[in-house]
Structure 1
C-alpha cells in the first residue's frame, strides 16, 4: 500500500465517524432493542432470523435517517448548546443538504428492506416514526411548547410496533400497550435530562419544562408519570398472553427502583440526583424489553 493510499484511508475515517454520528447510534441502540422486543412479543417465541435481521437493519436505517434529518434541521440550535455544539452539521464538517439527503436515503432503504423482508405495515410504521420525530417533534413541537417531549414521545414509541408488525403483519392490544408504555416512560427520562442541562436549553431558548415551569414542578410531573408507568407495565403482564410470572416479578422490581429514583429527585431536585434517574431510566427500559423477550420465549 502506498503512502497516498494510507493517507486517503486515514482521511476517510473521520468522515465515516461523522456520518455515523449523524445517526445518533447510542439513541438508536435502545430503539432497536425495543423493536426486536416487539418482534419477540408478536411471535410469542423467537422470531425467524429473517425477521430479526430485517427489524434490526430496517430499524437502524429509519432511526439513523430520522436522526440525520433532525441534526440537519437543528444545526443552528446545536451550536448554542454545550452538549450538541460539536455535532457534524453544527461544526460544518457535514453540510446541511448532505445530512438531509443522507437521512432521506436511509429512510428509503429502511422502507425497501422492511417491505421486501417483512411486510408493508412494518415498513410504513418505520416511516411514520421518522415523520413523528422529525416533522412533529423537531419542526413543530420542540421550540413551541413545554409538552414537546410528551407529545413528541410518540416517535420513540413506534419501534416496538414495527417489530410486532414485522412478526405478525398486524397490530393488536399488546402492540399498542408497548407503545403506551414507552410513551409514558419518555417524559421522566427526558425531563431528568432537561434538569441536568437546564442552562443549555435556556440559552437556546427551548421551552423545556424545567426552564419554563421550574425544577420543582418538573419533579412532581416526573413522579406522576413514574406512577402511571409503573401501573401500566405491571398490568401488561396480565393483559398479554405471551407474558407470565417472570415478567410480572421483574417489572415490579424495575418499577420499585424507578419510583425510588424519582422520589429521591422530588426530595432533592438537583443535577446529581437527576443524573442518577436519567441513567437508571435507560437501564430500566433495556431490562424491561429484555424481560419481554425472555418471557415471550419461555411462556
Structure 2
C-alpha cells in the first residue's frame, strides 16, 4: 500500500474537494462513451432506466477515481501534474478516499444490476476492480506496459452501455472497447514524452522512463497503425455508416500524420521547440476519441429518423 502523504490542512474539505476526488474529467468521458454505447444499441431503453444506468456508471467511475487517489497519494504528491489533488494536498484524508471509493463501488454495481441487468452490473464491477487493483495497485508501478494493459479499464464504458440496452456483448460493443483500448497508449505516451520528468521523479515505470523517448516514439507509431483499422472497421458495422466513415477518415489521416511527425523527431529537436509536435499530437488525441464516439452518436440519431447507416 502507498504511503499516506498528507500536508497540513489548509481548510476543511468541502463539496468541491470530494467531487474532485472522483476525477470529474475522466468521469465525463466515461459518461459520454457509455451513453453512446447505450444509444447506439439496436434496442430501445426506457428513459428512466437509461438515465439511472448512466448515473450509476458515472458513480462507478468516480469510485475508481477515489480508490486510485487513495492508493497513489505518494506518487501524486511528487508529480507536478497531480500534486494539487485532494489527498496529496491534504484536503481529504486517504482513509476518507478509501471509504468513499469502497462505498460508491458497492452502491454503483448493485444499483446498476437492479436498474438494468446483471451483465451490466458485472461489467461495471470488473471495470472498477481492473482500474483500482490490476492497474493502480499492480501494473502502474511494475511494468512499462502499465498504460497498455490498464487501458482496458477506460475502454469498458461503451460496452457497459451496450449491455444496459441489450443484456449482451456484441461485435459492435467489442469494437467500441477496442477503439478506446488501442487509443490509450499513443494518447498517454504522447503526454509522457513531454512530462517524462514527472514520471521519473515518482518512480513510475512509464515507457519513456524505462526505455527512453526513441522507443516510445516507435511504440506511438506502431499502436497508431494498429488503431486505424479498428477505428475504420466500426464504420462497416451496424453502428457505422457514411457519416461515421467520413469523420473517421479525416481523423485517422490526421492522427497518423501526427504520430509519424512525432516518430521522425529526435530529442534535440523536440527540446529545442518545447515538444511542440508531441503536445499537438496529445491535444489531437483528446479530440480524436471524442469525435469518433460523437460520429457513432450521429449515426444512431440519423437511424432513429430512418436515415444513415447501411
- With normalisation by structure 2, the TM-score equals 0.88
Q: CA deviation at 1:254?
A: 1.0
Are residue 256 (structure 1) and residue 260 (structure 2) matched?
no
- Residue 36 of structure 1 contacts residue 55 of structure 1 at CA under 8 Å; is this kept in 2? no
Q: Which residue of 2 aligns with 1:6?
A: none
Is the Cα contact below 8 Å between 2:172 and 2:239 reproduced in 1?
A: no
Q: Which runs of 5+ in 2 are unaligned?
A: 1-10, 304-310
Give me the whole-angstrom Cα distance separating, in 2, the residues matched to 1:118 and 1:292: 22
Aligned position for 1:5: none
1:136/1:152 contact within 8 Å kept? yes
> What is the aligned-residue RMSD (CA, Å)?
1.5
Alignment of 1:56-135 (within 5 A): 56-135=54-133
Q: In the alignment, what sits opposite 2:4? A: none
User: Is 1:192 equivalent to 2:190 in the alignment?
Assistant: yes
CA distance in 2, matches of 1:185, 1:39: 21
Whether 1:244 aligns to 2:241 is yes
Cα distance in 1, alignment partners of residues 53 and 154 from structure 2? 15
- Match of residue 25 from structure 1: 24
Tell me the distance in 2 between the aligned counterparts of 1:287 and 1:143: 32
Distance 1:228 1:52 in 2: 33
Q: 2:294 is matched with which residue?
A: 290
Preserved contact between residue 31 and residue 58 of structure 2 (Cα < 8 Å) = yes
- Is 1:230–1:252's contact at 8 Å kept on the other side of the alignment? no
Do 1:35 and 1:164's aligned partners in 2 also have CA atoms closer than 8 Å?
yes
- 1:34 corresponds in structure 2 to 33
1:147 aligns with 2:141: no
Structure 1 residue 31 displacement after superposition: 1.5
In 1: Cα distance, 2:283 partner to 2:129 partner: 27
Which residue is equivalent to 2:3? Answer: none
In structure 1, distance between residues paired with 2:78 and 2:292 = 35
Q: Secondary structure at the match of 1:154?
A: helix
Q: Is there any run of 5+ residues in structure 1 with no aligned partner, and where?
A: 1-10
Question: C-alpha separation between the residues in 2 aligned to 1:222 and 1:191?
Answer: 7
CA distance in structure 2 between the partners assigned to 1:155 and 1:117 by the alignment: 22
Q: SS of the residue aligned with 2:153?
A: coil
Cα distance in 1 for residues equivalent to 2:49 and 2:281: 34
Shift of 1:54: 2.4
Partner of 2:262: 265
Q: CA deviation at 1:47?
A: 4.5
2:5 paired residue number: none
Paired positions, count: 286
The aligned residue for residue 8 of structure 2 is none
1:215-226 alignment runs, 5 A limit: 215-226=213-224
User: Aligned in 2, Cα 1:76/1:178: closer, same or farther, shift over 3 Å?
Assistant: same
Which moves more between the two structures, 266-275 or 31-40?
Answer: 266-275
Which of the pair is proportionally richer in helix? 1
Contact 1:161 1:175 in 2 (8 A): yes
Per-residue deviation at 1:296? 2.1
> What CA distance in whole angstroms lies between the structure 2 residues aligned with 1:68 and 1:34?
20
